[in-house]
Each structure stands twice: as C-alpha cells, then as structure tokens.
C-alpha cells in the first residue's frame, strides 16, 4: 500500500464522506418519492413517532439547524404532508393523512434499502456498522 492509499484509508473524514456518497446513491435509487429527498422522509418518520412534536425537538432528533427544519417543514406543508400549529413561541408539527401514507411507503423503502446494502456488505456487518456510526456521531456531537 502506498502513502496516498494509507492516508486516505486512515482518514475518517475522507472515508466517511466517500461512504456517505455511496449510500446516498443507493438510497436515492431505493426511495422513489418524486421531489422528496431522503432527508424529508426521515423528518416525516420522526413526526410520525412524535405527533405534535415541537420544532426544537425535531431539530435535535435530526441533528439539523432550525433554519433547515423551517425550510423542510415549509416544503412538507406545501405538499400537504404536515400541518404546523403555533402555540405561543412553540411550533408543533403533525402528519396529515397524506403524510401518513408517505410514512408507510417510506417504511417499506427502508426495508428495501437495508436489504440492498446488506446484500452487498452482509447483514451483521451492516448492523454493526450502523450501530458504530451512530455511537461515533453521538460522541462527536457531545464534543462539538
């Protein structure tokens, strides 16, 4: 192995970015939801699990900035997938009936995505990798 390969292989930033690009390609092939990128689908899922979630908690669960969540919610509201209720300074987000349908389609697609990458990487390796990345992200978020 030459010096260049050693540097790239041992650079977590490069390796994680490369992995993210590849898994994103697979996700985009699997998730066929028109103009909704996968990030929007995960927001729908969080809202499904936490009806009337406030925007601050939604941002925390998705590790996104408030401005990003506002943009996402605006789009989902425009597509009639969520509703937004303002209660004083709090904004609460809920799914519409159409949002519920999209959520159920997304869950099917999540299973397809898992099957897609676990066929390539192996089931146990996929589960271990996902768990380790989750743990690493949690540790980094606490420190940054």
Q: What is the CATH number of the domain that holds 84?
A: 1.10.10.10
- Residue 40, domain member (yes or no): yes
**Residue 38 domain flag:** yes
Q: Is residue 24 included in any domain, yes or no? A: no
Q: What is the distance, to the nearest Å, from the Cα of residue 11 to the centroid of all Cα atoms in its chain?
A: 24
* Model pLDDT, residue 144: 86
Helix (H) or strand (E) holding 85: strand 82-87
91 in a domain, yes or no?
yes
Query: Is 10 inside any structural domain?
Result: no
| Interatomic CA distance for residues 92 and 120, integer angstroms | 40
pLDDT (0 to 100) of residue 95: 97
**The predicted structure's pLDDT at residue 87:** 86
| Residue 76 belongs to some domain of the structure | yes
Structural domains in the chain (count): 1
> Is the whole-model pTM more than 0.75?
yes
The domain of 51 spans 33-143
Q: Residue 43: CB partners within 8 Å, gap ≥ 6?
A: 58, 62, 69, 72, 73, 76
Q: Indicate if the pLDDT at residue 35 is higher than 90.
A: no
Q: Per the domain annotation, does 62 fall within a domain?
A: yes
The per-residue pLDDT for 108 is 95
Cα distance from N-terminal residue to C-terminal residue, the chain = 33
Q: Is the pLDDT of residue 29 over 90?
A: no
- The region that residue 88 occupies, defined by phi over 0 for left and psi between -120 and 50 for alpha, beta otherwise, is left
Report, as an integer, the average pLDDT of 65-88.
94
Query: What is the pLDDT of the chain when averaged over all its residues?
Result: 94
Q: What is the pLDDT of residue 111?
A: 96
Residue 2 counted as domain residue: no
The predicted-structure confidence for 85-138, as pLDDT tens digits, reads as follows: 988 888 899 999 999 999 999 999 999 999 999 999 999 999 999 999 999 999
How confident is residue 38, by pLDDT bands cut at 50, 70 and 90?
Answer: confident
CA 55 to chain centre: 16
């Amino acid at each position: 192995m030459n010096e260049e390969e050693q540097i790239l292989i041992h650079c977590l930033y490069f390796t994680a970015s490369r992995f993210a690009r590849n898994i994103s390609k697979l996700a985009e092939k699997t998730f066929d939801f028109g103009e909704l990128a996968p990030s929007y689908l995960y927001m729908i899922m969080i809202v499904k699990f936490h009806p009337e979630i406030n925007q601050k908690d939604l941002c925390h669960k998705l590790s996104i900035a408030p401005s990003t969540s506002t943009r996402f919610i605006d789009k989902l509201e425009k597509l009639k997938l969520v509703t937004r209720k303002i209660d004083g300074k709090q904004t609460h987000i809920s799914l519409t009936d159409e949002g519920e349908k999209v959520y159920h389609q997304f869950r099917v697609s999540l299973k397809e995505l898992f099957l897609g990458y676990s066929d390539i990487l192996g089931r146990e390796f996929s589960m271990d990798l996902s768990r380790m990345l989750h743990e690493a992200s949690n540790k980094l978020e606490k420190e940054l």
